[in-house]
Amino acid sequence: MKKKVVVTGMGAISPIGTSVEEFTQSLKEGKSGIRRISAFDTTGFDVTIAGEVKDFNPTLWIDKKYARKMARFTQFAVAATVQALNQAQLLEATEDGGQRISSDPDMTGVVLGNGIGGFEVVTESFHKLFDNGPRRMQPLTIPLMIGNEAAGNISILFGMQGPAFTQVTACSSGTDALGQALDLIRSGRCDVVVSGGSEACVVPFAIGGFQMLKALSSKRVNEPEKASRPFDADRDGFVLGEAAGILVLESEEHAKARGVPILAEFAGYGVSADAYHITSPDPSGEGGSKAIIRALKDAGVKPAEVQYYNAHGTSTEINDPTETKMIKRAFGEHAYKMKISSIKSMTGHCVAGSGGLEAIAAILAIREGFFPPTINLDHPDPECDLDYVPNTVQYGDINIAASGSLGFGGHNGVVVFKKY
Same domain (yes/no): 108, 249: yes
pLDDT at 256: 98
pLDDT at 208: 95
Mean pLDDT value across residues 22-46: 97
pLDDT at 41: 95
Same domain (yes/no): 203, 299: no
Mean pLDDT value across residues 329-333: 98
Q: Label each residue of 142-167 as H, E or C.
A: HHHHCCCHHHHHHHHHHCCCCCEEEE
Residue numbers of the domain that contains 300? 268-418
Whether the per-residue pLDDT at 83 is higher than 90: the answer is yes
Same domain (yes/no): 292, 191: no
Same domain (yes/no): 75, 88: yes
Residues contacting 96, CB < 8 A, separation 6+: none
pLDDT at 96: 83
Give percent of the chain above pLDDT 90: 93
Nearest to 192 by CA among 270, 113, 269, 247: 247
Same domain (yes/no): 54, 136: yes
Same domain (yes/no): 73, 180: yes
Q: At which of 228, 244, 264 does a domain end? A: 264
Q: What is the C-alpha separation between 366 and 28, in angstroms, rounded?
A: 13
Same domain (yes/no): 252, 342: no
Q: For residue 2, name the pLDDT band (cuts at 50, 70, 90).
A: confident
Whether the per-residue pLDDT at 202 is higher than 90: the answer is yes
Instruction: Write the DSSP string, 211-265.
Output: HHTT-B--TTTTSGGGT--TTBTT---B-BB-EEEEEEEEEHHHHHHHTPPP-EE
Same domain (yes/no): 198, 282: no
Which positions are catalytic?
171, 312, 349
Whether the per-residue pLDDT at 137 is higher than 90: the answer is no
pLDDT at 80: 98
pLDDT at 381: 98
pLDDT at 281: 92
Q: At which of 228, 248, 264 does a domain end? A: 264
Mean pLDDT value across residues 196-208: 96
Q: At which of 233, 264, 295 does a domain end? A: 264
Q: Determine how many CB atoms are found less than 10 A away from the CB of residue 236.
A: 16
Same domain (yes/no): 231, 128: yes
Q: For residue 54, name the pLDDT band (cuts at 50, 70, 90).
A: very high
Is residue 162 within 8 Å of residue 107, measured between CB atoms? yes
Mean pLDDT value across residues 39-54: 96
Mean pLDDT value across residues 395-417: 97
Same domain (yes/no): 239, 319: no
N-term to C-term CA, the chain: 19
Helix axes 72-87, 352-368, angle to 10 degrees: 30
pLDDT at 123: 86
- What is the sign of the dihedral through the CA atoms of 25, 13, 296 and 276? positive
Report the domain count for the chain.
Answer: 2
Q: What is the CATH number of the domain that holds 300?
A: 3.40.47.10
Task: Write out pLDDT tens, residues 284-293.
Answer: 999 999 999 9
Whether the per-residue pLDDT at 1 is higher than 80: the answer is no
Mean pLDDT value across residues 5-32: 98
Mean pLDDT value across residues 336-340: 98
Same domain (yes/no): 103, 243: yes
Same domain (yes/no): 312, 257: no
- Beta-strand relationship, 99-101 and 108-113: unpaired
